[in-house]
Structure 1
Amino acid sequence: MDIFERLKQDHNRHRELIDKIKATSGDSEERRTLFEQFKTDAMAHAAAEEGTLYATMMEDPEIRQDAQHSVKEHADIGMLFVELDEMDMSSSGWLNKFNSLADEYAHHIDEEEEEKFAKAQEEIDEATAERLASVFEERKPVEVERVVEGKDVDEIKHAIAEEEGSK
């Protein structure tokens, strides 16, 4: 399996979790559990993806801009997760924000699969793509731990504070 196939596996799992979350209502245990699973896996996925595929793409001038674009979208999505964590899950505002996140996330992974990965596959040889999948597998559990410990959220909140301070 190469990195592109491995990332698509996660994307498919995330699509399923989004659909399941949309089928829940209110501040239910099911919604909380599914949202935590989605948030944890999606944020860990993004960090591991950045440390493997996107780090490799950044080294190639032909595809560097694609990697930068996707990393920026990861940050935007991370901020939406932080905002959702701070909202009342039973409110219509939470559901509206979640739907925005779901739409943005679906756009992001569709764009990755349809455009970014295709360009990267032209530039990255198969042996490297397979090695990146192995590195991703090793890195993702470490990133899951960071998410569970809240380290990623602290970094996002710090970035939000800096952004607001510069306005």
Structure 2
Amino acid sequence: MTAKTIESRTFNPVPAAQAKAEAIAKAKALAPDLAVRIGSTPKTKFRGNPDVFGRLVEDHDRHRALLAMIEETTGNSPEREMLFTELVQELKGHAAAEEQALWSTVLRDPNTTDFARHAIAEHKEIDDMLADLAARDMASSAWLRRFAGLREEYLHHIREEEQEQFVAAEKHLSASDLRYMRQVFNRRKREEKAAAKIEEKINLKN
């Protein structure tokens, strides 16, 4: 298969249901015996789209599945440790690549600066929550309570991105911009995820 063929296939639209199923399957492959109960997902026009927003939603669906699978684990089991590590690396790599591929450009436009800053600020909040969880005993009830808080915060964040921030940003970007950003995101995501480190830092404010 030539590079041109791969690129062409990469940028072809995919039915939303298929795109969601494929994203969930990537997470499911890590722990086939665990259920993936993500329920219904917020409506978004970007799922399966051939631009950067479709690619970001693909990651979001995978993250929804990882969060649901972690909830199916118990104590400090190998499955919980493995899935949490994957989640941390996924979220860190995704956020860093998203900021470099999308929000760095959006920030240059005064019309879109506010919601770009909001998205980046929430990335920092989520990163802090991950560090707090990493520093705590996975088998404790406090860990589960804090994990539930992370899950709620992250699901709120990606719902807001998919239904508001991406919609607003799209109006100020050309189709060629969006497809180029997808290429940048894919490259940076691989690099950022590979370099992601799990930090441990107790958050005494919560």
Say whether residues 1:18 and 2:67 are aligned partners. yes
Partner of 2:91: 42
Say whether residues 1:30 and 2:79 are aligned partners. yes
Structure 1: runs of 5+ lacking an equivalent: none
Identify which of 149, 167, 170 aligns with 1:118: 167
- 1: CA distance between counterparts of 2:187 and 2:194? 12
- 2: CA distance between counterparts of 1:153 and 1:91? 19
AA in 2 matched with 1:38: L
Change (3 A) 1:46 1:98: same
Partner of 1:9: 58
List structure 1 runs of 4+ shifted beyond 6 angstroms. none
Q: How many residues of Structure 1 are paired with residues of Structure 2 in the alignment?
A: 154
Identify which of 89, 93, 99 aligns with 2:148: 99
Query: Larger relative CO (CA 8 A, sep 6+): 1 or 2?
Result: 1
- 2: CA distance between counterparts of 1:43 and 1:104? 15
Counterparts of residues 79-158 of structure 1 (less than 5 Å): 79-147=128-196, 150=197, 153=199
Identify which of 44, 49, 53 aligns with 2:102: 53
Partner of 1:64: 113
Report the structure, 1 or 2, having the larger helix content.
1
After superposing the two structures, state which structure 1 stretch, 98-107 or 137-146, moved more.
137-146
Structure 2: runs of 5+ lacking an equivalent: 1-49
Q: Which has the larger radius of gyration?
A: 2
Q: Quick one: percent identity of the two aligned structures?
A: 38
What is the TM-score when the length of structure 1 is the normalising length? Answer: 0.88
What is the TM-score when the length of structure 2 is the normalising length? Answer: 0.72
Shift of 1:141: 1.2
- 2: CA distance between counterparts of 1:33 and 1:56? 34
